[in-house]
């Protein structure tokens, strides 16, 4: 029994050691990416535990504390409704991350399936599909999102849909370029010869082999989604009051209180900048790690 326990310990130890080594290598080789990852983790923790971090209600109006400058009771000051800005920034992270992750995951997943299917079937389907994708890609992200919001209306759900739609053609185009090479690999022909269905070949043999660019696209899309959500909210077409959102906070203080109470706009703007910067750093580092071409050049 003792020898079995020792053998089992010997077998289980390498994966844990390998994970620690991979983590150390990532931190050593990608310090900026590691810093971005730490910021992302802190943002997620702040969003999840916002109820326990802050003592104020993000939607509670207090006319006695309107436009209070940063002090001990209000570290980041208050807005024109007397609401604590630190509390709203923390709860705004919840809104930004929810919209960002949902839009990025849904848009990337749909683009993944469509891109692989386009590469797999080829022919007329691929030609028509790519021309449709070209039409969507001809519009800048913000313009296409504005058009969708104009049709669907405002609100968190509609904002997620408006941000998701522009991500689909971007992910589909990148995934298709990788799936075209995989389609010619012999094991795909072998799967066809075995009589496997198209759905099984796509989901079990092609999709897993394009996961690297898929994961990279997700990290990039989250940062873009946060910026798009803030832009739409700033224009009054995104998340609506009294939901805490960084774009709404900028809308309420960027112009009217730029001189008399600059903290109303400065701190939400810094939160947006830090979030997008962190996701971009982490995404770039993840690309360097997962892209075999970049690994071979180093």
CATH of the domain at 292: 1.10.3720.10
User: Contact at 8 Å (CB) between 86 and 74?
Assistant: yes
Q: Which domain holds residue 267?
A: 30-297
User: Contact at 8 Å (CB) between 157 and 99?
Assistant: no
* Residue 13, in any domain of the structure: no
* Residue 209, in any domain of the structure: yes
Task: Kindly report, residue by residue over 6-61, the tens digit of the pLDDT.
Answer: 444 444 445 556 657 666 767 777 888 888 899 999 999 999 999 898 889 888 88
* Residue 162, in any domain of the structure: yes
* Residue 25, in any domain of the structure: no
User: Contact at 8 Å (CB) between 156 and 239?
Assistant: yes
**DSSP calls for the chain:** -HHHHHHHHHHHHHHHHHHHHHHHHHHHH-HHHHHHHHHHHHHHHHHHTHHHH-SS-TT---GGGTTPPS-SSSTT-B-TT--BHHHHHHHHHHHHHHHHHHHHHHHHHHHHHHHHHHHHH-HHHHHHHHHHHHHHHTS-HHHHHHHHHHHH-SSHHHHHHHHHHHHHHHHHHHHHHHHHHHHTSHHHHHHHHTT--HHHIIIIIIGGGGHHHHHHHHHHHHHHHHHHHHHHHHTTSSS-TTS--HHHHHHHHSSTTTTT-THHHHHHHHHHHHHHHHHHHHHHHHHHHH-HHHHHH-
pLDDT at 12: 46
Q: Report how far residue 40's alpha carbon sits from residue 34's, in angstroms, rounded to the nearest whole number.
A: 10
Please give the backbone phi and psi of residue 68, each rounded to the nearest 5 degrees, phi first: -80, 130
pLDDT at 270: 93
Provide the domain count of the chain: 1
* Residue 8, in any domain of the structure: no
Rg (CA), the chain: 23
Task: Kindly report, residue by residue over 101-156, the tens digit of the pLDDT.
Answer: 999 999 999 999 888 888 888 888 889 988 998 898 888 888 888 888 888 888 88
* Residue 24, in any domain of the structure: no
Task: Kindly report, residue by residue over 152-181, the tens digit of the pLDDT.
Answer: 888 888 999 999 999 999 999 988 888 888
Half-sphere CA count of 32, side-chain side, radius 13 A: 9
Peptide bond into 122 cis (omega under 30): no
Contacts of 26 (CB under 8 A, 6+ apart): 33, 34, 285, 289
Q: Report how far residue 288's alpha carbon sits from residue 298's, in angstroms, rounded to the nearest whole number.
A: 10
* Residue 5, in any domain of the structure: no
* Residue 2, in any domain of the structure: no
Most confident of 87-96, 130-139, 205-214: 87-96
């Amino acid at each position: 029994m003792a020898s079995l326990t020792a053998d089992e310990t010997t077998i289980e130890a390498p994966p844990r050691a390998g994970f620690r080594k991979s983590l150390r290598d990532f931190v050593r080789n990608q310090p900026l990416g590691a810093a971005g990852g730490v910021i992302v983790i802190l943002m997620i923790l702040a969003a999840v535990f916002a109820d326990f971090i802050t003592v104020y209600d993000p939607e509670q109006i207090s006319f006695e504390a309107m436009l209070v400058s940063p002090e001990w009771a209000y570290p980041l000051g208050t807005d024109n409704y007397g609401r604590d800005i630190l509390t709203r920034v923390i709860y705004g992270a919840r809104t930004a991350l929810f919209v960002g992750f949902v839009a990025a995951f849904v848009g990337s997943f749909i683009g993944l399936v469509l891109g692989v299917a386009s590469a797999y079937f080829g022919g007329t389907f691929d030609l028509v599909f790519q021309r449709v994708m070209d039409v969507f890609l001809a519009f800048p992200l913000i313009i296409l999102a504005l058009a969708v919001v104009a049709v669907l209306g405002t609100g968190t759900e509609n904002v997620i849909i408006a941000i998701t739609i522009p991500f689909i053609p971007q992910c589909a185009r990148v995934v298709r370029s990788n799936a075209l090479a995989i389609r010619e690999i012999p094991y795909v022909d072998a799967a066809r010869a075995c009589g496997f269905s198209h759905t099984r070949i796509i989901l079990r043999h092609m999709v897993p082999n394009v996961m690297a660019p898929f994961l990279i696209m997700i990290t990039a899309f989250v940062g873009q989604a946060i910026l798009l959500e803030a832009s739409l909210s700033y224009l009054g077409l995104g998340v609506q009051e009294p939901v805490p959102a960084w774009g709404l906070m900028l809308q309420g203080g960027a112009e009217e209180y730029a001189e008399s109470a600059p903290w109303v706009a400065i701190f939400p703007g810094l939160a947006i900048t830090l979030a997008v910067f962190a996701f971009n750093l982490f995404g770039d580092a993840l690309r360097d790690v997962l892209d075999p071409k970049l690994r071979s050049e180093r």
